[in-house]
Structure 1
């Protein structure tokens, strides 16, 4: 038995006692973080869960990663493909807007690092072949797709992708692709904006072609559309090269009809109302499922596509995946909106199984960064019934606290409270992680958060390198919980936040009710302080209690169940006559379990 396995078994055994024993609190309660502080503990819960093909989505812990910024496993592909000039170049490790060299082989090498953190599902930003350079930046992020049949050569070959998926599956981990149906790379030009050859800028507003409405088009006020010479056949499949399959109405203003029909920052907006496009895109993604056998899709820019498209797309892809032997195939959409009433319609009407819960992210921000009441969480969960429908409900929403677009949770915390101590920042991050893991929904760890990454903002400023970075604006960051910088190799399994996620994953993996149980909020308040919920199934009820204040808090809870045993112990707890009194240290949480 190696050291890591021995530590894992010790932690697992302790958690089993905490979850099942009827001994009193003093005998069984353990502080998991303290237990792990002297050794590298791991949490390969994927080894304890059902086989990936049979596993319910509620059992997953996602890791959201930008492959180019993770690990370089093959330096020969850093420049892309010389045989395809449109997908060659754009490599500059010193620039935050260009390729840095991470690839599929690098991800494959680091799968044990992820598995030992308790990750069960890898979600990658788009990996299909991109236009390498647009303007003064490159397609390192993957959202400028030209070819939907092969991966970007900067990331490796199709076989490298298959090898990664096979290796993940061998570890009982899943792999999810990030896909785009809203747009392709920017190839189509308008003479009124881009000149006769497509290489000028004639418009008064830099980088923006005024949006032309449907009414304007009906009156003959349209752009002169063309594809520059030599670029007529860049896109694959070939039908995507025909401008008639695009809206060609100028740039989106992010509201009104332009949000559906305008170009997303200049990217060619696909006309997803055209019946040929609906059929064509369904076939595109069916082929991807057939060839690579991913376990699901995260779908980009969902709200910028008409709802009727998703109503056809989602059932068709799910049915095809089942035919391909992937019965638990799962799709969740990106709807960048913080209101459940707006998010939920893509589940109830759009027939998507789930969406990224931006509303959850907002509630955690207000509770732990903006110092509003813990009832911000209660207000969120009170709207969960909005998601109930044939294809999904709130129990499968995908929770997160920060991402590649809005920035990291640590950055938001730092920006709001620049003088806060590092200890308090770490405590707030740990509590945000606990809320993400133990509230209804599926948790997502954004790559680098486990290493204390902070960043200077959103977008490019939140896309640091895990491998040693050469970007000056990354390397001057003061990372949390470490003396390292992003100029170092950041795969430290002893990092306090990595170990925090290990402890959360061990609890999450050992206690099924915390993943599948029905949630009910039992306490919140209008000021920072106690927030409590239960997760209940036909065998157990778990009580999760968090303190969002930076002072000790006490609460009396009237509970229907009795004899709650500790999973994670509060500072103090007494129980009598159906009343539980809990004292919680600042910015901490506790979990207790009772038999039904």
Structure 2
């Protein structure tokens, strides 16, 4: 069944082809490199001069909808200073954990490494860098390290494995000189695991008294109200590990045992033992707000991505988020922007945090799940319609769907290419490449702000989520990383992977060029034109007032598909043949398999 928007009409004006991007992969055998043929270079059909971050508005006054994000885990990117590989030289709690052969340990990437690679990022059209948490962590918990940054002890200084506070300031200044923004990943839900429970860990807090794999079972609010509580204890010598000092007081934590990520315990429970902060406490609201006001004042980042948002009571966000934005504006960061991680595909749940919770935006998990449905599970393109028809839920005084952050995969769920590889459809490498690039095209050109997950531009795949999707860009010693074939690449992760001629790098750079050239792709209202309840066409328009209108047509099927767009070309008007078998006859566009087309309505 074809689904169309019967109210959609086009302006009676000249229609010119902006871009047709179709990747055709030759039938390939198991050897590499794979030959990938593009029937026309994107640069041959540009209608306007190329733009990059230099041509955008200055970073300080630039709207979030102008950005192309790069999400990077600094420890896994590039080692700019081997002297900090072992972390702190004075504080044992933040020292060690360095083992390049172990995917759960520190690998040596740091802030100086990021600064050294700014030209690489700029060349791909990146205008904003989002870093995983960089504040000082507990180096080791169990048999893994805090390389990822989510086990914070000290909110006042950078983790010594990554460098110093001065290194971070120099990096931000260098990025700003390149007109690139820097966003910090922050956490208010929990700290590192310091607090223990006598019932689970003994009087000294150093034992393990639970049944294997049980953890410390959650105590419900009803149990706590009835007096059935855990006795919290901090092991001797660890009483003052956290900074600022108020974080060392047990009364500012829930102390109810481990979460199962369901119901009330998703807010009140400990994540794998991490100390869950009592964000219902007025003192905590004030304290956490002051912590991050100080971070803004000292380092001058351009915004925050906020971790584990739905695991904190929503009332906290309604106080916290506006206070930080107001503070940033007061000290001269007028476009300071925050977006949250709400791991849910439910638009009503996601949007609650931009309306009731007063956050400016969230990561669009609903779109990511729809990309999985359409491009991995081969469901109909109506799955995309179901996402976009709910966009109005996000609208309020400082939020709208155009500000949502679009992504194909991340450090938790894994890479889109890895999801394709592990699916039940047994996709060939050639088809994984096509589907991965098409997913990224949707991230760039449908409403929202695009994010590239580090390594995707080099064809990284991975064996799953979490540690398996956190490969090294610098030469790796991890066997389970290095045995993976990379897409469109004869290298492995055992090699240096900063190839500016890689197909994905160049394609993402071209996507960014298009995104920057046409304001309707960043700010335009999106209207649905056509979809289907099986793989095939998905078409939308992006309209910016009366100034610019763009039409985007995707084909998610493995065969060419046609769509009636409702207009007829006049004799003599030129449509650039970027596809060899592209046809536009009597108002009907035929799009090759796993490809997309973008038109501008003049």
| Deviation, structure 1 residue 111 | 0.7
Partner of 2:362: 355
Structure 1 residue runs without a partner (length 5+): 1-20
Alignment-derived partner of residue 238 in structure 1: 245
Quick check: 1:450 aligned with 2:457? yes
Give 2:288's aligned residue.
281
- Per the TM alignment, residue 574 of structure 1 is displaced from its structure 2 partner at its CA by 3.2
Question: Which position in structure 1 is the counterpart of 2:584?
Answer: 574
Whether the aligned pair in 1 keeps the contact of 2:204 and 2:233 (CA below 8 Å) is no
Distance 1:471 1:373 in 2: 38
For residue 545 of structure 1, the aligned residue among 549, 553, 558 is: 553
Which whole-Å deviations, capped at 9, do the CAs of 1:229-264 have from their partners, x for residues lacking one? Answer: 000000000000000000000001111110110001
| Residue in 1 that maps onto 2:7 | none
Tell me the equivalent position of 1:124.
131
Alignment match of 1:344 (pick from 343, 351, 355): 351
Does structure 1 retain, via aligned residues, the 8 Å contact 2:15–2:600?
no
| More off after superposition, 404-413 vs 418-427 | 418-427
Does residue 1:496 correspond to 2:503, yes or no? yes
Contact 1:43 1:118 in 2 (8 A): no
Paired residue for 1:487?
Answer: 494
Deviations 1:428-483 (A, max 9, x none): 11110110000000010000001111101110000000000000000000111111
Q: Output the CA distance in 2 between the equivalents of 1:263 and 1:415.
A: 31
Q: 1:410 to 1:23 in 2, by over 3 A?
A: closer
Structure 2: stretches of 5+ with no match in the other structure = 1-12, 24-37
The residue that corresponds to 2:565 in the other structure is 557
Contact 2:98 2:107 in 1 (8 A): yes
Relative to 1, partners in 2 of residues 1:74 and 1:442: Cα closer, same or farther, differing over 3 Å?
same
User: 1:13 aligns to what?
Assistant: none
SS at 2:171 equivalent: helix
Give the structure-2-normalised TM-score: 0.91
Alpha-carbon separation, structure 2, partners of 1:214 and 1:478: 49
- CA contact under 8 A between 1:184 and 1:269: conserved in structure 2? yes
Shift of 1:204: 1.5
C-alpha contact (below 8 Å) 2:19/2:597 kept by paired residues: no
**Distance in 1 separating the partners of 2:576 and 2:66:** 19
1:426 corresponding residue in structure 2:
433
CA contact (8 A) 1:565 1:592 kept: no
Q: Secondary structure at the match of 2:507?
A: helix
Q: What whole-Å deviation, never above 9, does each CA across 1:52-102 have from its counterpart, x for those lacking one? A: 011110010000000000000000000001211110001111000010000
1:572 deviation in Å?
Answer: 3.0
* 2:83 is aligned with 1:76: yes
Deviation at 1:205, TM superposition (A): 3.9
Distance (whole Å) between structure 1 residues aligned to residue 136 and residue 537 of structure 2 = 48
* 1:318 equivalenced with 2:328 (yes/no): no
- Within-5 A mapping of 1:382-421: 382-417=389-424, 419-421=426-428
**Distance change in 2, residues 1:573/1:418 (3 Å):** closer
Aligned to 1:7: none
Relative contact order (alpha carbons < 8 A, sep ≥ 6): 1 or 2 greater? 2
Deviation at 1:406, TM superposition (A): 0.4
| Distance in structure 1 (CA, Å) of the matches to 2:358 and 2:371 | 27
Matches for 1:220-259 after TM superposition, within 5 Å: 220-259=227-266
2:462 match: secondary structure: coil
**1:80–1:87 Cα contact (<8 Å) kept:** yes
TM-score by length of 1: 0.92
Three-state SS of the structure 2 residue aligned to 1:524 is strand
Aligned mates of 2:204, 2:39 — CA distance in 1: 65
